[in-house]
Amino acid sequence: MTTFAAAQEFSEREGGRPAPVLIRGAAPYGEDPADVLLAGGRIAAVGVDASVHPEAADAEVVDGSGLVLLPGLVDLHTHLREPGAEDAETVASGSAAAALGGYTAVFAMPNTEPAADTAGVVEQVFRLGREVGLVDVQPIGAVTVGRNGSQLAELAAMASSAARVRMFSDDGSCVADPLLMRRALEYVKAFGGVIAQHAEEVRLTAGAQMHEGVVSARLGLAGWPAVAEEAIVARDCLLAEHVGSRLHVCHVSTSGSVELIAAAKAHGASVTAEVTPHHLLLTDSRAESYDPVNKVNPPLRPDPHVQALRRALADGVIDCVATDHAPHARQDKETEWAAARPGMLGLETALSVVCAAMCETGLLDWRGVARVMSENPARIGGLADHGRPIAAGEPANLTLINPSARWTVRAEALASLSRNTPYEGMELPARVVATFLRGRATVRDAALAAGAAV
C-alpha cells in the first residue's frame, strides 16, 4: 500500500484533500456488488457511473470483491479514559481501536477525571479527537456537576461549545434523583438534547457484583437484580413522556427493560435504547471463573435475557448496538472479583460479536447491521455526516468488511492500551478490512493505514 500512502501524503501536502479511491466490486449492504468512487471526502459515484467518473482516472483502486461495504460504524457509548486514566486508554489509542473496529465516529462518555461536565473539558476531548483524526470523537457531557447526581452541569454551555454536545449522561452512575432527572430531560429540550441514562437503582445494587440469580447464589457474589435496571427504565420512560423530551437508555440488559421500552414506544414516548455486544453474546455463567474480565456493569445476564435482547434488536425495540468500550489498566482487573473495576473492551470486536449473535442466527442481515451500528446511533446522537446512505453526494464515511473471514481474538494484538477483552481466544466471524473517514483510509488491510497512524 505504499503507493496509496504516498498518494495520500502527497494529497495532504496539496491541501488535505484525500486522493480518490475506487472500491471495485464490493457489495453495499451485502447486496448487489457495485463500484463506489470516493473523492473530495464524499461518495462521488456508485455503480456503473463510478469507473467512468473523471475522478476515477487518478483513483487508487481497492479490490472489494467478496467484501461488504457499510456506512462507517457509530458508537454511542465509548470510554476513552482521557483525561485522567491515560494508562487505560487515550483518545489516540481508543480512536485507533475504533477505526480498526470499523467505526468512523464514537461518542466519548464523560466519566473522566475531571469529569466532562464543562465546556472546557468537552472541547478538550473534541480537539484531541480531531488532532488524532482517526474517527470523529463526539463528547457526551455529564448531566450533573462531577457526575455527583446533585446539581445540573452547564448543559447549554456544552451544547453551544465547539464540541456541540447534544447527548448528556452520568454513565457509570445513574441520575438517581427523579426530580433532577425530570429537570435534565426538560432542560435539554431547548437545544434538542437527549439524556442517556445508566439505569441502576443504586439502593438495590449496593455491593452488587453480578446478576442476581442462580449463579450468584452459588458463587456467593452479591446480586445485581434485573429489577434495579427496570425500575429506573420504567420511571424514566414515564418522565420522558410526561415532559415531552428525549430519553436514551444505555446498555439495556434485561428482558423486562425490553418490555418497558416497547410499551413506552408504543405509547409515543421519545425513547431510544442501546444494547452492548457482550450482552448479546455472553451470559452470567462467565462469572464462574471468578475472572473479573467478565465483570461489567450492568452485569452479564442469563440466556433468556440474551435471547430477548437479540429479538428486541432485530425488531427495533432496541435501536442500536453501543459498545460500552471500557478499558481498564491491568492492576484493576488482575485482582479478586470484588476488587476489580467493571467493564470490557468492545470497539475492536463489536462487529464480529454482532455478526455471531445476530447475523449467524439469521436475526439481522447486513442492511440490518448498518441500521443498528451506524444509521440509528448517528441519528440518535445527532451526527449529520455519519450513518448516511451509500449514495452519490454523501460523506465518504464507510467501512469495508470481509464477511467470510474468521479470526481469533488475542488481547495482545488489540490496539487498545488495555487488555480486558472477554473474548480472548474466541474465534469470531467477519473482519474489518478497511475504514474510510471522509474518503481517507484510516484502516487498510485490517491495520491502521500508513499516514493515518497516530
Partner 1 sequence: MTSLATGTGPATAPGSVGAALETVSAATNDGYADLPRHLLAASDLSREAAIAVLDTAERIDQAIAGREVRKLPTLRGRTVVNLFYEDSTRTRISFELAAKRLSADVINFSAKGSSVSKGESLKDTALTLQAMGADAVVIRHSASGAPHRLAGWVAGTVINAGDGTHEHPTQALLDAFTLRRHLLGGAVRDRVGNGLDARHVVIVGDILHSRVARSNVTLLHALGARVTLVAPPTLLPVGVDEWPCSVSYDLDAALAGADAAMMLRVQKERMDGAFFPTAREYTRGYGLDLRRRALIAPHGIVMHPGPMNRGMEIAPAVADGEGSVVTEQVANGVTVRMAVLYLLVSGEGADRV
Q: Enumerate binding residues for partner 1 (CB under 8 A).
A: 209, 212-223, 225, 289-291, 331, 334-339
- Which SS3 state, helix, strand or coil, does residue 139 take? strand
Q: Measured between alpha carbons, how far is 175 from 184 in angstroms, rounded to an integer?
A: 9
Q: Which residues in 173-208 are b (16+ Cβ under 10 Å) and which e?
A: bbbbeeebbbbbbbbbeeeebbbbbbbbbeebbeeb
Give the shortest CB-96-to-partner 1 separation in angstroms: 28
Give the shortest CB-294-to-partner 1 separation in angstroms: 11
| 137 versus 210: smaller Cβ distance to partner 1 | 210
Give the shortest CB-221-to-partner 1 separation in angstroms: 5
Q: Measured between alpha carbons, how far is 417 from 87 in angstroms, rounded to an integer?
A: 7
Cβ contacts of 203 within 8 Å, gap of 6 or more: none
Q: Which DSSP state fits 306? A: H
Give the shortest CB-333-to-partner 1 separation in angstroms: 10
| 289 versus 408: smaller Cβ distance to partner 1 | 289
| 80 versus 88: smaller Cβ distance to partner 1 | 88
| 337 versus 407: smaller Cβ distance to partner 1 | 337
Question: Roughly how many angstroms between the first and final C-alpha of the chain, as a whole number?
Answer: 17
Residue of 170, 324, 332, 385 with catalytic role = 324
| 190 versus 338: smaller Cβ distance to partner 1 | 338
Give the shortest CB-226-to-partner 1 separation in angstroms: 10
Angle, helix 255-266 to helix 303-315, in steps of 10 degrees:
30
Q: Cα 361–402–323 angle (5° rounding)?
A: 60
Strands 73-78 and 36-39: unpaired
CB count within 10 Å of CB 131 equals 12
Q: Measured between alpha carbons, how far is 78 from 234 in angstroms, rounded to an integer?
A: 25
Distance of CA 318 to the CA centre of its chain: 14
| 236 versus 332: smaller Cβ distance to partner 1 | 332
| 218 versus 406: smaller Cβ distance to partner 1 | 218
Give the shortest CB-344-to-partner 1 separation in angstroms: 18
Q: Measured between alpha carbons, how far is 142 from 195 in angstroms, rounded to an integer?
A: 10
Prior bond of 114 cis (ω within 30°): yes
Give the shortest CB-332-to-partner 1 separation in angstroms: 10
Give the shortest CB-246-to-partner 1 separation in angstroms: 34
| 107 versus 224: smaller Cβ distance to partner 1 | 224
Strands (E), 2-102: 21-24, 27-28, 36-39, 42-46, 60-63, 68-71, 73-78
Count of CA atoms in the C-beta half-sphere (13 A) of 33: 9
Q: Measured between alpha carbons, how far is 274 from 181 in angstroms, rounded to an integer?
A: 19
C-alpha cell read off for 446: 485490517
Count of CA atoms in the C-beta half-sphere (13 A) of 84: 16
Q: Is 324 a catalytic residue?
A: yes
Active site residues: 324
